Amino acid sequence: MADTTTPQSPWYKQTLQRSTYSLSFTTPAFLGDAEQLGNWRTPPIKALLRFWWRIASWPSMNGDVARLRTTEKALFGGVGQNGEERNAAQRSLVQLRLNSWEEGKLNNSNWPTLHLDILKNANNGNVRADAYLGYGPILPKLIAEIASARITRDALSPLQKTELTVTHAKNEQLADALQLPVQDVRLPSDALALMQWFGTLGSRSVNGWGSIQITDSSIPALPTANSPVLTSVTSSLEDCLVEDWPHAIGKDGKGPLIWTSQINLPSWQRAISYLGQLKIDLRTKAKQHRFSAKPYTMAGVHLLGYPAGPQRDIKNKKNGEITTPKSIWTIDAWKKQGNTPEVRIASQLRFKVIRNSENTFTCLIYHLPHSLPDFAVRRLEPLQQKWLKDNQLKVWQKLHELLDNTSGLARLSSHQGAN
């Protein structure tokens, strides 16, 4: 719902628009504060809003990253950087407020395990689905040789809800403040719709944890393939790979690179199990596309995120010594070197879980294609760089083919819509 009011803040001389939305998660969210205690907080929500606003606004920027940054700072605020004067800081024209800051209530003692499948990982070992997709906040363990898991951090439960109030100037006023034509201004409401369809928050969020649910009559639970907001942020796979940062949802000859599960899943645990098996299938397929000229390795699995293999401590049963064996997918050039940090890359294929009106769940998979970051590519050997340049498009096309051919999964259709 929305209303208008004239605030007393001196930096606003015009009428503002205020909208309030019901906010919850469909999967547990490891949304930690400074002490890693799960609770509702506005900063990560605003960061996610900025992320999707950036994607919504990119088409009107004509490829000008500097202009995008300047416009984002004018809208969301920022501090002076790179030698700018202190007065270069700008206050945000968008304000967020939560009506509660409740702490997370899910922990190791009350974690629901019903419907969590035991999966076979790449090493043919058993791992519970939540531990596979949530490694870190959730650690795998064996109890009497049965795959189990331990929850290491409190999480916000899908049962915990709050209200989010977003306040900002109206369209024409924003256009004036941002020095943009009115038709090029992307309102926070556009970014909120993208957050509902694709947004996740917290640790391991690219794997579907912390899937946000924004409940409002103006935002359908799922988009259609021909939704104006969605079509405005899609771009061809080939064009997306020109940039080295996530700036658009990809598309090919079959439509947007978005897939949804075609069966109504009864719980978020079942959705996590479904996505866990799908991730294993994707990684297995990606590993088949591999270049190796010792000691250099490069493979399709590196496009799915890095680190790309297990680096878990192993305890020697005889002497109790703990070692961390090197994964065969480790790239030496991407290790920490002096003051140069280890390379870490988030997956471009991302998962989301959406709650339907009948309280069942739909899994959504989408691709935000981009080339690997330049700082990471420059650290590779020339042979690795050449393999990457020659093969990244082919690898992605093979992974899309796998998703197209997965039973129970289909491309987002032009009539799927809200439910």
Co-location of 241 and 214 in the same domain: no
pLDDT of residue 332: 87
**Residue-by-residue pLDDT tens, the chain, 419 positions:** 444 444 444 434 556 788 999 999 999 999 876 666 678 889 999 999 999 999 999 998 888 999 899 889 888 888 766 555 555 677 888 999 999 888 888 999 999 988 899 998 777 688 999 999 999 999 988 765 667 889 999 999 998 999 999 998 877 777 787 777 877 777 788 899 999 999 999 999 999 999 999 999 889 999 999 999 999 999 999 999 999 999 999 999 999 999 999 998 999 999 999 999 999 999 999 999 998 777 778 999 999 999 887 555 455 556 656 555 567 888 989 998 888 899 999 999 999 999 998 889 999 999 999 999 999 999 999 999 999 999 999 999 999 999 999 999 999 987 665 44
Decide: 350 and 206 in contact? Cβ < 8 Å.
yes
Q: What DSSP string describes 63-128?
A: T-HHHHHHHHHHHH-B---TT--GGG-B--SEEEEES--PBP-B-TTT---TT--EEE-TTS-EEE
Residue after which a domain boundary falls, among 219, 248, 266: 219
Residue 121 lies in a domain: no
Which position has the token pair 């999480």?
155
pLDDT of residue 2: 45
Co-location of 305 and 191 in the same domain: no
Main-chain phi, psi angles of 286, to 5 degrees: -65, -35
- Full domain range(s) for residue 180: 1-99+161-200+209-219
Residue after which a domain boundary falls, among 219, 251, 267: 219
What pairs with residue 165 in β-bridges? 20, 97
pLDDT of residue 365: 98
The amino acid at residue 388 is L
Residue 154 lies in a domain: no
Q: Which two tokens stand for residue 38?
A: 């799960």
pLDDT of residue 419: 46
Co-location of 418 and 302 in the same domain: yes
Co-location of 319 and 349 in the same domain: yes
Q: Which two tokens stand for residue 281?
A: 């299938």
Per residue in 291-323, is it b (16+ CB within 10 Å) or e — as a string?
beeeebbbbbbbbbbbbbbeeeeeeeeeeeeee
Q: Which two tokens stand for residue 296?
A: 């250099």
Co-location of 232 and 194 in the same domain: no
Residue 75 lies in a domain: yes
Which position has the token pair 């208008």?
4
Residue 142 lies in a domain: no
Co-location of 264 and 351 in the same domain: yes
Closest CA to 214 of 98, 351, 130: 98
Co-location of 264 and 341 in the same domain: yes
pLDDT of residue 148: 85
Co-location of 312 and 290 in the same domain: yes
pLDDT of residue 317: 57
Closest CA to 418 of 216, 236, 258, 261: 216
Co-location of 18 and 68 in the same domain: yes
Co-location of 272 and 416 in the same domain: yes
pLDDT of residue 11: 39
Co-location of 255 and 171 in the same domain: no
Q: How many domains does the chain have?
A: 2
Strands of 175-226 (E only): list them. Answer: 212-215
Co-location of 192 and 238 in the same domain: no
pLDDT of residue 178: 78
